[in-house]
Amino acid sequence: MYGEGISREGELIDLASDCGVLDKSGAWDYLGSSKGFCFKSHILGIMKSIFKIFIFCLSFFVLGCSKKSNSTNQDISIICTTFPLYDWVKNIVGENNSVKLDLLVDSGVDVHSYNPTPKDIVDVSKCDLFIYSGGVSENWVKDILNQTGNKSLKVVNLVEFLEEKGRVLCVPDGKEVSGTDYCEVDLEVHDDHEENHHEDKNHNHNHSHNHNHDEHSDDEHIWLSLKNAILICNYLCQELCLLDSENADLYRRKVNELNANAQDEINLGWIISDAFPKSKIVPKGKNCANKRVHMFLRWMVRQNSPVDLGLWKWFNSCDLIIPLDTHVLQESIKLGLISEKATGSLKTAKLITQQLKEIWKDDPCKGDFALFGLGIS
């Protein structure tokens, strides 16, 4: 009613008409089939309708409570802050329909400047498992957790988990980088390096390092690392098994499939070889050492080198494989890096590379200069 608000009488009449208590005919409302109006019958009819509605709502309430009390049939609610985390959990959960999985920050929304809504706080307070990356970009998560009041809520901070495992993702300080410029550092090894770095008081800070991250800071973009992803997925599987023991076998099977897929590494040398199927210069076969391709990759990737171009900054030098030929094979055998029965295969090239990583962790191909230079007078 204009200027007065909702007409409660009109609402009551409309409700009675919708429930079949009144019959509408033009502008008139009739009780039953008679065209007369009986106030007492009218009120009794309305009360019966209200009673029916009350019973209907009560039945919903009782059914809802009974479902809530049955823990075996109760849906498990999981909320992830960003899509990479959501996608990991989705792959582990698989076809389990008893898990309700939600994404808090939609794709395309800047997580650094995200402002949680009251609905976000309510949703998180009602969920069973809340997963977030951690770090400075998600400082707003603290505000949500402080207002939930749900003491039984399981909260997973993945940055803290990786730090406990001695893993960290870093990025060079003061440098704008893309995802492929990030690097992985073992916390213990890095701490030892920093300690030795500062113990030398006469240390010259104008020298150039041979690794890709002279100075770096921790970064929470943990999904950029395949190694971190494997650790995280196994950890999330453990949390899901504790939360939902009835479907633990499903979660373990799914995470085992993810682990198996992660082991099938993508070799850039294979991709380049496959790009030239008719070329006689580029060797073929996944067991071939493929020296020419790996030498090309060394030229294109290695930085701060007098002989390497270093044009491909999107590829990490720690992932390069030593260019293996007969001379490098023989010198590696003499040095005891590989057995005398080793052949010139990709497996041998990877084994030599792994040995060189013990010396040059971030740039194993630096040892290539020593190997092909040995024995040449």
Does pLDDT of 289 surpass 80?
Answer: yes
Residues 6+ apart with CB under 8 A from 304: 208, 209, 210, 310
Alpha-carbon span 308 to 298, nearest angstrom? 7
Label each residue of 126-160 as H, E or C. HCCEEEECCCHHHCHHHHHHHHHCCCCCEEEEHHH
- Range list for CATH 3.40.50.1980 in the chain: 76-264
Helices (H), 204-281: 226-243, 248-263, 268-274
Question: Are the beta carbons of 40 and 34 closer than 8 angstroms?
Answer: no
Residues 6+ apart with CB under 8 A from 258: 91, 92, 230, 233
Q: What are phi and psi of 203, to 5 degrees?
A: -65, 130
Global pTM reads 0.47
Alpha-carbon span 70 to 60, nearest angstrom? 16
Question: Are the beta carbons of 339 and 333 closer than 8 angstroms?
Answer: yes
3-class state of residue 345 by DSSP = strand
Alpha-carbon span 322 to 298, nearest angstrom? 8
CB atoms within 10 A of CB 313: 15
pLDDT of residue 282: 76
Q: Which residue has the tokens 């213990």?
A: 188
Classify residue 118 by burial, with Cβ atoms within 10 Å: 0-12, 13-18, 19+: exposed
Report which listed range, 187-196, 294-303, 309-318, is most confident. Answer: 294-303
3-class state of residue 253 by DSSP = helix
From the candidate CATH numbers 3.40.50.280, 3.40.50.1980, 3.40.190.10, 3.30.420.240, the one assigned to the domain spanning 76-264: 3.40.50.1980
Q: Which residue has the higher pLDDT, 158 or 223?
A: 158
Q: Each residue of 36-79: pLDDT tens digit? A: 455 556 566 667 667 767 766 665 555 544 433 333 446 899 99
Q: Which residue has the tokens 């943990």?
A: 222
**Nearest to 372, CA basis, from 287, 307, 288:** 307
Q: What are phi and psi of 69, to 5 degrees?
A: -80, -15
Alpha-carbon span 133 to 115, nearest angstrom? 16
Q: Each residue of 242-254: pLDDT tens digit? A: 999 999 999 999 9
* Residue 172 backbone zone (phi > 0: left; psi -120 to 50: alpha; other: beta): beta
Report which listed range, 5-19, 217-231, 338-352, is most confident. Answer: 338-352
Weakest mean pLDDT among 8-22, 77-91, 193-207, 262-276: 193-207
CB atoms within 10 A of CB 279: 11
Q: Each residue of 81-110: pLDDT tens digit? A: 998 899 999 999 988 888 999 999 987 788
Q: What is the mean pLDDT of the chain?
A: 76
| Nearest-10 Cα torsion for 328, 330, 335, 340 | 130
In order, the DSSP letters of 10-72 are: HHHHHHHHHTTSEEEETTEEEETT-SS--HHHHHHHHHHHHHHHHHHHHHHHHHHHHHHH-TT
pLDDT of residue 78: 95
Weakest mean pLDDT among 60-74, 278-292, 336-350: 60-74
How distant, in Å, are the alpha carbons of 21, 77, 260 from that of 150?
Answer: 45, 13, 37
For 199, half-sphere exposure in the C-beta direction (CA atoms, 13 angstrom radius) is 6
How distant, in Å, are the alpha carbons of 284, 322, 331 from that of 342?
Answer: 20, 15, 12
Q: Which residue has the tokens 């909260």?
A: 155
